[in-house]
Chain A
Amino acid sequence: MKKESVALKIAIIAILTAVVTVFTMVVRIPTVKGYLHLGDVAICFIAFTLGPITGLICGGLGTALADLIGGYASWAVVSFLVHGIEGLAIGLIINKENVKFWQKLVAGAAAIVIVAGGYYLLSGLFLTGFEAALAEIPGNIGQAGIGVVLGLAVSEAVKKAYPPIKDLIW
């Protein structure tokens, strides 16, 4: 896209936020916190293909919206911070064309630490108390891990299926 367009940026963020929300709400496995979901797949996809800023905003906003709509409104701010930072971090770690394997590992580890650790910390402080927050950790680790792996795979597939996507990177 040659000319600068604010509308395009808005469309990118809005639609990808909606994607994160849908991925978070549509495929679910119920557990402690509420559910495990594929939201992290979407966030990792966005961070891998479109960069850290998009990952930050869409990851944070998307999961926060999912919480608000789903009835878990108290988690909205926590989700916004945790998944936003997750998107930002992954996008920053992996931001070149040819991604080396060790970079993927680092990104995966970062995602797991941020999601599991972030929820533990913030839920513990403000919501459920540290003890109960422990119960969320295994689930979150699994979710973040699957998120990175699937997100990477899907990102490759989509880039091949729809090459013009590279035009949307900020």
Chain B
Amino acid sequence: MKTNTYIKGNSLYHKADVRAKLLFTLLSCILIFLDPTISNLYCYTAFAVLLCVFSVGIKETFNNIKLLLPIVGFMILFLPLQSQKGEALLAIKDFVLVSDHALNNLLLVANRFIFISLITALLLQTSTNNDLLLGLRFFRLPYNAALVISLALCFIPSIASVFSEIRESQSLRLPNPEEGEESKKGRFKKLFPSLTAVLVYAIKSIPITASGLELRGFRGKGARTSYNKLNWGFSTFTQIVISVILPLIIFTVWRNV
């Protein structure tokens, strides 16, 4: 199980400083709620798609959008529910399937939703986990919190693989490993021991991990040096300024134009 959402690349967005990207993403997602104009929203979404394509390629962008399609599908499916108000655009006899109000609402919500999803996915795909944590720490995320997150990321693949090995080995210790594979109840019964075993495994790892942390010098508070760091240069400063100003301009000033 990979905890890596990072996709290697050389785009401008990849090279941008992670702190700038964090600010840009956060501000964009918040500010987009200010604008109820459909045409502007189309522009924002198009911008997000283009940014994705230029940063991670068409295939990846398509993959990102693919995940959202079922949800948009459901939004379309539920159109009739909103179609009480407004003029009917599509109707079967007396029953209004789609009204212009509903359609408007749908486009608004869908555009916003796609924009937010793409922008956040892009952030994760163009920055490594380490960089993201360093960026968050720059914004005053406490060291201990960052340690928790990085430890969790460390354990996710290991617990996942242990879980699948446990499931395998549990199936081997039954007298007749074929039994119970077909019936749903049998499969469930086989799952329960695995769940228990993996939880015991996880719990047992806790004091051992704490031992490792302390033996390698973790105190809970106190000074530490840092091997990894984010570089700070003039271009970084410029990027951060841009990442703040750009969303502000686009979402507040431009919309009034």
Residues of A within 8 A of B (CB): 1, 5-8, 10-19, 21-22, 25-27, 32-34, 38, 41, 45, 61-62, 65, 68-69, 71-74, 76, 126-129, 131-132, 134-135, 150, 153-154, 157-158, 161-162, 165, 168
B67 interfacial contact with A, CB 8 Å: yes
Would you call B124 and A17 a contact (CB within 8 A)?
no
- Interface residue from A15, A21, A26, A128 paired with B151 (Cβ < 8 Å): A15
Would you call A61 and B152 a contact (CB within 8 A)?
yes
Shortest distance from the beta carbon of B194 to any chain A beta carbon, whole Å:
10
B residues in contact with A129, CB < 8 Å: 75, 105-106, 109
B residues in contact with A5, CB < 8 Å: 210, 214, 220
**Cα–Cα distance between A15 and B148 once the two chains are bound (Å):** 9
**Cα–Cα distance between A109 and B144 once the two chains are bound (Å):** 34
Would you call A11 and B199 a contact (CB within 8 A)?
no
Shortest distance from the beta carbon of B118 to any chain A beta carbon, whole Å:
9
Would you call B196 and A32 a contact (CB within 8 A)?
no
Would you call B64 and A8 a contact (CB within 8 A)?
no
Q: How many residues of B contact A (CB 8 A)?
A: 63
**Could you list 20 A-B pairs, sorted by A, with CB under 8 Å?**
A7-B210, A8-B210, A10-B148, A10-B210, A11-B207, A11-B213, A14-B209, A15-B202, A17-B148, A18-B153, A18-B154, A18-B156, A22-B198, A69-B5, A73-B124, A127-B113, A128-B74, A158-B199, A158-B200, A161-B196
- Interface residue from B74, B152, B154, B191 paired with A32 (Cβ < 8 Å): B74
**Cα–Cα distance between A71 and B3 once the two chains are bound (Å):** 11
Would you call A12 and B144 a contact (CB within 8 A)?
no
Would you call B152 and A6 a contact (CB within 8 A)?
no
**Cα–Cα distance between A157 and B196 once the two chains are bound (Å):** 7
B159 interfacial contact with A, CB 8 Å: yes
B residues in contact with A72, CB < 8 Å: 67, 117
A residues in contact with B192, CB < 8 Å: 150, 153-154, 157
**Cα–Cα distance between A63 and B40 once the two chains are bound (Å):** 33
- Interface residue from A65, A158, A168 paired with B196 (Cβ < 8 Å): A158
| CB contact under 8 A between A7 and B199, given known A18-B155, A32-B74 | no
B218 interfacial contact with A, CB 8 Å: yes
Beyond A11-B206, A129-B105, A132-B75, 19 extra complex contacts between A and B, CB < 8 Å: A6-B144, A10-B218, A19-B159, A22-B1, A25-B1, A33-B71, A69-B5, A69-B156, A71-B5, A72-B117, A73-B120, A73-B123, A74-B116, A74-B117, A128-B113, A129-B106, A154-B192, A158-B196, A165-B203
| CB contact under 8 A between A12 and B206, given known A5-B214, A131-B81 | yes
Shortest distance from the beta carbon of A111 to any chain B beta carbon, whole Å:
18
- Interface residue from A34, A73, A131, A135 paired with B121 (Cβ < 8 Å): A73
B233 interfacial contact with A, CB 8 Å: no
Would you call A11 and B120 a contact (CB within 8 A)?
no
**Cα–Cα distance between A21 and B147 once the two chains are bound (Å):** 17
B residues in contact with A34, CB < 8 Å: 67
With CB as the reference atom, state the residue of chain B lying closest to A71.
Answer: B67
A residues in contact with B75, CB < 8 Å: 128-129, 131-132
A residues in contact with B123, CB < 8 Å: 73
Which interface residue of A10, A12, A157 has the most chain B CB atoms within 10 A? Answer: A10
Would you call B206 and A168 a contact (CB within 8 A)?
yes
**Cα–Cα distance between A153 and B199 once the two chains are bound (Å):** 12
B42 interfacial contact with A, CB 8 Å: no
B residues in contact with A128, CB < 8 Å: 71, 74-75, 109, 113
- Interface residue from B63, B82, B153, B213 paired with A7 (Cβ < 8 Å): B213
| CB contact under 8 A between A8 and B206, given known A14-B151, A14-B155, A73-B124 | yes
**Cα–Cα distance between A7 and B218 once the two chains are bound (Å):** 7
